């Protein structure tokens, strides 16, 4: 029993002395075979700890090499491994230091931990670990607890956590003895047994250290690529290129690592690209194929190579520009146009015209308004490609004056809608229900209304004389209405000298005469 710091009575001292003598007598009866067994176990544990140390050292070396190859990816795990190594070596070395202290206490200054002479000594471990003021048992107890708490948080497997916790447990199995862990473990413990316990602790430390290291290395990937198939891929921005444009493509491996970029070779020549983009000027039209290979180092420093090839087509610049009416443009009129470029949205188009104005009216729809008849209007189409404007084509249209409209008398049709009378027989009832005349181009292609400014109606009197009457703009005048009201069946009159202005703002006198016969 260790000596307590508090004062004890002479009677208690006598009891303690008798206990020590009894334990000494019992120790004399410990067989040498049992002590030899402790030595054999200690040797086995020592070899196991040494093997674990070698295995752990291999992982440390791997991590260090990985750190040199790819510090951006490995640094966080490498730093954690250094932390594990530091605290594991600290506890391991403490146990080694205590072993040497106990053996020196037992065998003297020339003691050898691997060859203990006084293996049955019961006092050495008690004095080193439990002596008041100098005993190091509490130091070891605290170090084990601190190490266990830190190490289990770095292991993800629950079963392995439980094993480490059990191996490094500092709970006293029988609390009825009234002893703490260090007293329970080292009090009156033969030197051989104490050394064996500390060797077991060293072995448990190396085991726990190894489990954490395997967990860390799994996050780094020793071979750095954990897929069952790796292929090279080319991702082009477009496979059809306009002549003069650029072919752009991203070349990657199937498993992408943002901290490690592969080396790309096309036609045997390395291309300089930080993010795998490749582009070349396409100066000829036709179908083409470019090929090459990718090289990349995995975590163990082995070179991985994958070949690739990609087809693409180069076409001449093209655009579609069509006049919705015909292949000419009319001066002073908003000619509707449809314009498109294959593969290019209308928002990426820029359209202009010479000799007039050009205005977009919707998705791919425009109005072209040239100004001067007899000239040519040139429409230029450009498209935004690769961040720059590229001309897709020029289109020339002849500019014509709007043709003269046809004069008509509008009236309500029987089934609804509006009918246009342009000459011939017309009932007086319908005629008297109209207000005047109109004019428009309506030939199946164009449907353009004109404004009638004035016109003249010629009636014939009883003597056969022609009597002209002027209109009030586009409407019949009162005199014209009066003359029409007095006409008998089969009588006729003529509408002539019709002056009209179209959307081009040009006033014109219409050729021809409209004959109206009363039926």
Cβ pair 337, 367 in contact under 8 A: yes
Instruction: Give the lowest-confidence range in 147-151, 304-308, 421-425.
Output: 304-308
CATH number of the domain residue 288 falls in: 2.60.40.10
Assess if residue 10 is contained within a domain: no
If you compute the radius of gyration of the chain from its CA atoms, what whole number of angstroms results?
Answer: 54
DSSP 100-160: HHHHHHHH-TT--TTS-S-TT-SSHHHHHHHSTTT--HHHHHHHHHHHHHHHHTT---HHH
Provide the pLDDT for residue 500: 96
Domain that holds residue 373: 320-400
| Distance in angstroms (rounded) separating the CA atoms of residues 11 and 21 | 16
Please give the average per-residue pLDDT across 213-217, as a whole number.
84
| Distance in angstroms (rounded) separating the CA atoms of residues 434 and 252 | 78
* 224 CB burial (10 A radius; 0-12, 13-18, 19+): buried
Provide the pLDDT for residue 411: 92
Provide the pLDDT for residue 6: 39
Please give the average per-residue pLDDT across 179-207, as a whole number.
88
Provide the pLDDT for residue 287: 74
- Specify whether 171 is located in the same domain as 89: yes
- Specify whether 357 is located in the same domain as 411: no
pLDDT tier for residue 270 given thresholds of 50, 70 and 90: confident
Provide the pLDDT for residue 149: 92
Please name the residue that has the structure tokens 């498109």. 340
- Judge whether residue 3 has pLDDT over 90: no
Cβ pair 195, 113 in contact under 8 A: yes
- Specify whether 37 is located in the same domain as 130: yes
Please give the average per-residue pLDDT across 144-149, as a whole number.
93
pLDDT tier for residue 214 given thresholds of 50, 70 and 90: confident
Please give the average per-residue pLDDT across 37-54, as a whole number.
72
pLDDT in tens, 10-36: 544 454 454 344 444 444 445 555 555
pLDDT tier for residue 468 given thresholds of 50, 70 and 90: very high
- Judge whether residue 250 has pLDDT over 70: yes
- Specify whether 45 is located in the same domain as 161: yes
Q: Extract the tokens encoding 45.
A: 């544990």
Q: How many domains does the chain have?
A: 4
- Judge whether residue 274 has pLDDT over 80: no
pLDDT in tens, 340-384: 887 777 888 899 999 999 999 988 899 999 999 999 999 999 988
Provide the pLDDT for residue 21: 46
DSSP 40-103: HHHHHHHHHHHHHHHHHHHHHHHHHHHHHH-HHHHHHHHHHHHHHHHHHHHHHHHHHHHHHHHH
- Specify whether 354 is located in the same domain as 440: no
Among 378, 400, 422, identify where a domain stops.
Answer: 400
| Distance in angstroms (rounded) separating the CA atoms of residues 295 and 253 | 9
- Specify whether 48 is located in the same domain as 162: yes
Provide the pLDDT for residue 222: 47
- Judge whether residue 116 has pLDDT over 90: no
- Judge whether residue 506 has pLDDT over 70: yes
Provide the pLDDT for residue 30: 52
Assess if residue 485 is contained within a domain: yes
pLDDT in tens, 392-406: 888 999 999 998 999
| Distance in angstroms (rounded) separating the CA atoms of residues 18 and 11 | 11
- Specify whether 191 is located in the same domain as 254: no
- Specify whether 375 is located in the same domain as 439: no
The alpha-helical segments, DSSP class H, found in 284-387 are none
pLDDT tier for residue 240 given thresholds of 50, 70 and 90: low
CA angle 348, 314, 268 (to 5 degrees): 120
Provide the pLDDT for residue 408: 94
Please give the average per-residue pLDDT across 64-87, as a whole number.
86
| Distance in angstroms (rounded) separating the CA atoms of residues 386 and 35 | 85
| Distance in angstroms (rounded) separating the CA atoms of residues 434 and 415 | 17
Provide the pLDDT for residue 237: 64
Among 400, 431, 451, identify where a domain stops.
Answer: 400
Q: Bigger pLDDT: 320 or 467?
A: 467
Q: Bigger pLDDT: 311 or 161?
A: 161
| Distance in angstroms (rounded) separating the CA atoms of residues 27 and 126 | 14
- Specify whether 258 is located in the same domain as 146: no
Beta strands 320-323 and 335-340: pairing type?
antiparallel
Assess if residue 132 is contained within a domain: yes
Among 343, 377, 400, identify where a domain stops.
Answer: 400
- Specify whether 206 is located in the same domain as 61: yes
Instruction: Give the lowest-confidence range in 90-99, 257-266, 390-399.
Output: 257-266
Mean pLDDT over the full length of the chain: 81
Backbone φ and ψ for 452, nearest 5 degrees, come out as -80, 125
Please give the average per-residue pLDDT across 149-157, as a whole number.
87
pLDDT in tens, 162-180: 888 888 998 888 777 788 9
- Judge whether residue 230 has pLDDT over 90: no
| % of the chain surpassing 70 pLDDT | 79
Contacts 24+ apart (CB under 8 A), 109-115: 113/195
Provide the pLDDT for residue 2: 40
pLDDT tier for residue 454 given thresholds of 50, 70 and 90: very high
pLDDT in tens, 403-438: 899 999 999 888 778 899 999 999 999 999 999 999
């Amino acid at each position: 029993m260790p000596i307590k710091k508090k004062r004890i009575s002479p009677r208690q001292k006598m009891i303690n002395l008798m206990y020590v003598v009894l334990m000494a007598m019992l120790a004399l009866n410990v067989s040498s075979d049992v002590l030899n067994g402790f030595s054999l176990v200690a040797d086995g544990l020592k070899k196991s700890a040494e093997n674990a140390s070698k295995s752990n050292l291999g992982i440390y070396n791997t991590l260090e090499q990985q750190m040199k190859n790819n510090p951006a990816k490995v640094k966080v795990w490498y730093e954690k491994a250094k932390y594990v190594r530091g605290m594991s070596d600290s506890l391991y070395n403490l146990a080694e230091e205590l072993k040497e202290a106990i053996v020196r206490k037992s065998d003297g200054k020339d003691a050898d931990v691997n060859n203990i002479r006084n293996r049955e000594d019961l006092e050495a471990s008690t004095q080193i670990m439990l002596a008041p003021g100098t005993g190091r048992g509490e130091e070891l107890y605290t170090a084990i607890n601190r190490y266990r708490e830190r190490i289990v948080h770095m292991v993800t497997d629950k079963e392995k956590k439980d094993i480490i916790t059990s191996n490094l447990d500092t709970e006293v199995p029988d609390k009825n003895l009234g002893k703490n862990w260090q007293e329970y473990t080292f009090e009156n413990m033969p030197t051989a047994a104490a050394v064996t316990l500390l060797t077991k602790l060293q072995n448990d430390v190396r085991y726990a250290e190894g489990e954490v290291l395997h967990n860390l290395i799994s996050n780094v990937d020793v071979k750095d690529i954990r897929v069952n198939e790796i292929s090279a891929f080319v991702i082009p921005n477009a496979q059809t290129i306009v002549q003069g444009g650029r072919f752009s493509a991203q070349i990657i491996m199937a498993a992408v690592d943002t901290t490690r970029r592969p080396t790309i070779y096309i036609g045997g020549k390395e291309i300089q690209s930080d993010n795998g983009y490749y582009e070349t000027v396409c100066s000829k039209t036709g179908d083409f194929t470019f090929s090459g290979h990718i090289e990349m180092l995995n975590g163990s420093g082995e070179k991985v190579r994958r070949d690739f090839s990609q087809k693409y087509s180069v076409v001449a610049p093209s655009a579609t520009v069509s006049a919705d009416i015909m292949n000419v443009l009319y001066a002073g009129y908003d000619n509707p146009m449809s314009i498109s470029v294959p593969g290019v949205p209308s928002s990426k188009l820029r359209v202009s015209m010479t000799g007039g104005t050009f205005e977009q009216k919707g998705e791919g729809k425009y109005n072209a308004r040239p100004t001067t008849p007899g000239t040519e209007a040139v429409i230029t189409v450009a498209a935004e490609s690769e961040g720059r404007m590229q001309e897709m084509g020029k289109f020339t249209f002849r500019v014509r004056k709007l043709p003269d409209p046809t004069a008509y008398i509008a009236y309500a049709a029987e089934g609804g809608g509006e009918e246009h009378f342009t000459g011939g027989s017309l009932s007086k009832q319908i005629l008297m229900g109209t207000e005047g005349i109109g004019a428009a181009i309506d030939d199946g292609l164009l449907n353009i209304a004109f404004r009638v400014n004035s016109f003249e109606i010629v009636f014939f009197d009883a003597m056969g004389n022609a009597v002209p009457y002027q209109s009030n703009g586009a409407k019949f005048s009162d005199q014209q209405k009066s003359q029409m009201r007095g006409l008998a069946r089969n009588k006729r009159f003529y509408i002539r000298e019709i002056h009209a202005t179209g959307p081009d703002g040009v006033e014109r006198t219409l050729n021809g005469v409209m004959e109206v016969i009363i039926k």
